[in-house]
Amino acid sequence: MGDANDRVMIFDTTLRDGEQSPGIALDVGEKLEIAEQLARLGVDVIEAGFPIASDGDFEAVEAIARAVRGPVVAGLARTAFGDIDRAWEAVRHAERPRIHIFLATSKIHMEKKLRMSPEQVKAEAAASVARARGYTTDIEFSPEDGSRSDPDFLVEVLQIAVDAGATVLNIPDTVGYGVPEEYGRLIRYLIDHVKGDYIVSTHCHDDLGLAVANSLAGVANGARQVECAVNGIGERAGNAALEEIVMAIRTRGDYFAGLETGVRTEELARTSRLVSRLTGYPVQYNKAVVGRNAFAHESGIHQHGVLSDRETYEIIDAASVGQEAAQIVLGKHSGRHAFADSLEKMGLSLQGDALNQAFVRFKELADRKVEITDADLEAIVAEELGAGAVHRYSMVSIDVHGGTAVTPSARVVLADGDVKVEGEAQGNGMIDAAIASIADATGVSGTLVDFNVSSVTGGRDALGDVVVQLESGGLRASGRGVATDVVEASARAYLNAVNKIVRLREQPEARDVESGP
Ligand code: KIV
Ligand code: ZN
């Protein structure tokens, strides 16, 4: 009885309680697709719907019962015989059919909703289970609002249900009111006081964000079935999230004393994506286990740790839940280790000063751009490599003013070793003014024989990638610049070209390689 074995049954109610979420309306084909995937995932029970609720619900439950092999297929029913008969009609073709009957037992539900006395509720429980017993031996009974019901009354009703033939006693925290310690104690109390051969199940709603914690407290106290839904969808704030329940039991096998589920965890991410796509309910980025950030590390300290040993900051192997392995997301919190590692993975090798300068550029960009893509990295490295071995000048700041009513002007501050040099100029446009201010600061002017702007990736925060060719005093050099702002990218490209011209002037032997025809 109760916790006699080590297997925790996973009862998936995505297609019943989950489908009750506002705005979700799955057609029969979509429900079948989800049910097939749930079978692949290895859940023990699929609650396919509430057959009396509508013809569409009936059709879907019947189709799933006929087609899906492996899990038990359950249909929900109130205590009315018409409900139970209809539920049986829908599930009877299943390999293993189940009828799931629910009846409220809390004072408020009995008085205000059912308008039944406790004695009537007990009689109703006995009659409904007996009716279902005429069809099948697999009967689940749920005292709705169980967590707010009087525990001794619950024991009475549940004993009646077991004596009439119920084999699973599900204890709903219908309104998400329970807290773990209290809910766990209730489960233990019921197991200790209801006699017979049955297993106890949890069904917790998430109104206080405690659905998973409450369910696990139930398991720790002897429940051997957990009702849950993929991505935690369900009435109001939803149900306990299936993926969290399964991974908590698996990851904390030490705490849950060797308990296990039959779920093939590598299917979790795929199942989550399917349910999200068909229901139209997005999965929050930071959702445990299946969220897109569940295995992403942005802080430099975390990235460093994960690169040296994944387990420093990960308790689940991403591959074990069908997610992509540890993703190092380069952003403004990333450190040099992660930056260098990403470059290396892309086959880009920078060392010493070049790596330091590229890292500085990366940090500048990351302050303005949320996520740095591989293409962005390539562009930064190309800019750095293209700048030549020695940068005489580097950009400190550039201010550009422009618009339709003013003459565009720019003011630049460059570092020439330890010295700051400044330049100011006006131009035909903001790019022209920016370039002229660099010419003013460096004294290197010339003709732009080529000027090419492209964007590294799509989106409003895409990096602008500018390549220029500058001809100055008979020398020609190319320069490249990337920045989220195209004027700044142009200025950087020009400055790169100026650095090369300066170098060619100072080291004439380099001309053969770098100067144009
Ligand atoms: O939340 C609830 O009480 C239910 C029952 C029908 C099990 O969904
Ligand atoms: Zn529910």
Q: Give tens-digit pLDDT for 150-189.
A: 999 999 999 999 999 999 999 999 999 999 999 999 999 9
Residue found by looking up tokens 């086959």 in the block: 347
Residue 154 located in a structural domain? no
The token duo for 60 is: 């879907």
Structural domain for 381, as ranges: 325-389
CATH number of the domain bearing residue 477:
3.30.160.270
Q: For a ligand 1 pocket test, name from 11, 12, 17 the mutation site with the most ligand atoms within 8 angstroms of its C-beta.
A: 17
Residue 403 located in a structural domain? yes
Helix (H, G, I), strand (E, B) or coil at 368: coil
What dihedral do alpha carbons 192, 198, 199, 201 form, nearest 10°?
Answer: -90
Domain boundary among 389, 423, 440: 389
Residue 351 located in a structural domain? yes
Residue 488 located in a structural domain? yes
Q: Sorting pLDDT into bands at 50, 70 and 90, what band is 315?
A: very high
Helix (H, G, I), strand (E, B) or coil at 473: coil
Residue 479 located in a structural domain? yes
Q: Which helix (H) or strand (E) holds 280?
A: none
Residue 129 located in a structural domain? no
Q: Is the CB of 503 under 6 A from ligand 1?
A: no
pLDDT digits (tens, 9 = 90+) for 20-65: 988 888 999 999 999 999 999 999 999 999 999 999 999 999 999 9
Same domain, 398 and 383: no
Same domain, 369 and 353: yes
Give the integer Cα–Cα distance in Å for 128 and 57.
Answer: 21
Residue 241: closest CA among 291, 187, 186, 179: 291
Q: What percent of the chain has pLDDT over 70?
A: 94
Residue 70 located in a structural domain? no
Give the integer Cα–Cα distance in Å for 510 and 199.
Answer: 82
CB neighbourhood size of 448 (10 A) = 17
Residue 57 located in a structural domain? no
Close Cβ partners of 491 (under 8 Å, ≥ 6 residues apart): 395, 398, 410, 412, 431, 434, 435, 437, 438, 481
Q: For a ligand 1 pocket test, name from 205, 215, 225, 226 the mutation site with the most ligand atoms within 8 angstroms of its C-beta.
A: 205
Give the integer Cα–Cα distance in Å for 515 and 166.
Answer: 88
Q: What atom in ligand 1 is closest to the CA of residue 142?
A: 7
Q: Which ligand is nearest to the CA of 77?
A: 1
Domain boundary among 389, 412, 439: 389
DSSP code of 462? P
Looking at residue 411, its pLDDT comes to 97
Residue 276: closest CA among 293, 291, 297, 259: 291
Cβ–Cβ under 8 Å, residues 296 and 287: no
Same domain, 373 and 438: no
The token duo for 470 is: 């500058």
Q: For a ligand 1 pocket test, name from 174, 207, 227 the mutation site with the most ligand atoms within 8 angstroms of its C-beta.
A: 174
Strands 97-104 and 225-228: unpaired
Same domain, 410 and 462: yes
Same domain, 397 and 504: yes
Same domain, 450 and 492: yes
Same domain, 497 and 414: yes
Tell me the H-state helices in 221-263: 242-251
Q: How many domains does the chain have?
A: 2
Q: Which residue has the higher pLDDT, 348 or 516?
A: 348
Same domain, 404 and 385: no
Same domain, 369 and 381: yes
Same domain, 402 and 504: yes
pLDDT digits (tens, 9 = 90+) for 388-418: 545 789 899 999 999 888 999 999 999 998 8
Domain boundary among 389, 408, 443: 389
* Residue 514 scores a pLDDT above 50: no
CB neighbourhood size of 370 (10 A) = 10
* Residue 145 scores a pLDDT above 50: yes
Same domain, 350 and 362: yes
Same domain, 401 and 380: no
Ligand 1 centroid vs 168 CA: distance in angstroms? Answer: 14
